[in-house]
Amino acid sequence: MEEEEEGADPNLTTETIGIDAGLQKKHQAMLDRLSNRHQARLDNSLARRSDSTNSSESTSSFLSRFSHSKQSIDSQLAESRLIAQSDPSRLKSHFADVSSSISDLEKLVAESSYFLPSYEVRSSLKTISDLKQNLETLNSELTPKRKFSFKNKGTTKKEHPKEPEPVKPDTVSTSNFKIPDSPGFRNKSNETLVKKFKGTEVGEFTLSDLDSCEVRLTGCCNAVFMNRLKNCKIYLGPVTGSILIEDVEGCTFVLASHQIRIHLAKRCDFYLRVRSRPIIEDSNAVRFAPYCLDYEGIEMDLEKAGLSEETGNWENVDDFKWLRAVQSPNWCVLPENERVGKVRVADFES
């Protein structure tokens, strides 16, 4: 009898074992969760280190290529004076080669800007601007000027005096940009201006001296230049190269391009899709939002221009006149409740 009392109660033992087993399962599950969480943190940490390493390596590679190219261009510029002395007839082709090298360097910056720190982008573009200025100075100084000569007396056709030729006769100079003498809309007020680009019909297009106009450009072109626009609405299909904007006020722009640079803009809204960071300079009260244009065939045009994917760069704006670490006060993201809706081709046709 005493032995039976000293033995464990079978029912109590089974219940106790069940409780212990349940606690063990819960404990093990907790350990598994902690282990998984720890492993996830390790994986994320390694991924961040890898991204940081890759970004650092990419930046280092870019700086090496940029430095090498700049040295080569500096050598070309230094060679200009020797060519002017020995064989002036070569100057035109020489300057064309230098200009091409600078364009290649600018393209390298545009293609690399998505991973470069902002200050590297600013520094690189400042270097390119200086190279362009040096080239223009040398071109103006060394290129032979056209000599004056008398016309034959037998000539009956009256010739009007010509204005002196600029350094680059195919462009009109502004403070920062070169505005080409390309097809476009100029000197218009209170008009609706419509153009549809077909294939490679137009390489470059210019909008200049427009007041209170609405411009609707659909299809693709290579580059668009805008100068002196006031109170205008500009709707553009995709641009495969660059959009350069200068001296605009009170305008709304809907633009898609690989590179967009804005100078002297006041009280303007920009709806953008852009591969590299938009650049503003000497601008204030400008606001940014995502691209919102739609028309039949736009998806195909965006694909052809390499702009089918939204990069989010519309809000990664670089202000070249604001070098502090804090947000520039000259631009902001356009509040959603103040944005225009989708701008559709049906709206154009109505």
Cα 1 off chain centre by: 94
- The confidence score (pLDDT) of residue 21 equals 65
Q: Which residue ranges make up each domain of the chain?
A: 46-142, 177-349
Q: What is the pTM of this model?
A: 0.53
- The confidence score (pLDDT) of residue 38 equals 62
Give the CATH number of domain 177-349; options: 2.160.20.70, 2.40.160.10, 2.70.180.20, 2.130.10.10. Answer: 2.160.20.70
- The confidence score (pLDDT) of residue 201 equals 55
Percent helix, strand and coil across the chain, each rounded to 5?
Answer: 45, 25, 30
Considering the chain, what percentage of its residues have pLDDT values greater than 70?
70
Rounded (10°) CA dihedral 255, 256, 262, 267: 30
Residues sharing a CB contact under 8 Å with residue 150, sequence separation 6 or more, in sequence order:
none
Query: Cβ distance 271 to 235 under 8 Å?
Result: no
Query: Given the structure tokens 């505005």, which residue do they identify?
Result: 179
- The confidence score (pLDDT) of residue 200 equals 52
pLDDT in tens, 67-91: 889 989 988 888 888 888 888 888 8
Between the ranges 228-232, 292-296, 309-313, 314-318, where is the mean pLDDT highest? 228-232
Largest CA distance in the chain: 150
Q: Which helix (H) or strand (E) holds 322?
A: none
Give residue 123's pLDDT band: very low, low, confident or very high (50, 70, 90).
confident
pLDDT at 231 over 60: yes
- The confidence score (pLDDT) of residue 23 equals 66
> In CATH, what number does 46-142 get?
1.20.58
Residues sharing a CB contact under 8 Å with residue 281, sequence separation 6 or more, in sequence order:
176, 261, 262, 263, 264, 319, 320, 321
- The confidence score (pLDDT) of residue 236 equals 93
Distance CA 193, CA 216 (A): 6
Q: Which helix (H) or strand (E) holds 330?
A: none
Choose the weakest-confidence range: 128-142, 169-183, 235-249.
169-183
Which DSSP category does 326 fall into? S
Residue burial 78-111, b: 16+ Cβ < 10 Å; e: rest: eebeebbeeeeeebeebbeebbebbeebbebbbe
- The confidence score (pLDDT) of residue 153 equals 44
Same fold, 46-142 and 177-349: no
Between the ranges 60-64, 87-91, 163-167, 187-191, where is the mean pLDDT highest? 187-191
Give residue 208's pLDDT band: very low, low, confident or very high (50, 70, 90).
very high
**Phi first, then psi: what are they for 167, rounded to 5°?**
-60, -45
Give residue 50's pLDDT band: very low, low, confident or very high (50, 70, 90).
low
Looking at every residue in the chain, the average pLDDT score rounds to: 78
Give residue 173's pLDDT band: very low, low, confident or very high (50, 70, 90).
very low
Residues sharing a CB contact under 8 Å with residue 220, sequence separation 6 or more, in sequence order:
197, 237, 238, 239, 240, 301, 304, 305
Query: Cβ distance 103 to 96 under 8 Å?
Result: no
Which is more confident, 186 or 152?
A: 186
Which is more confident, 25 or 271?
A: 271
pLDDT at 305 over 50: yes
Distance CA 231, CA 211 (A): 6
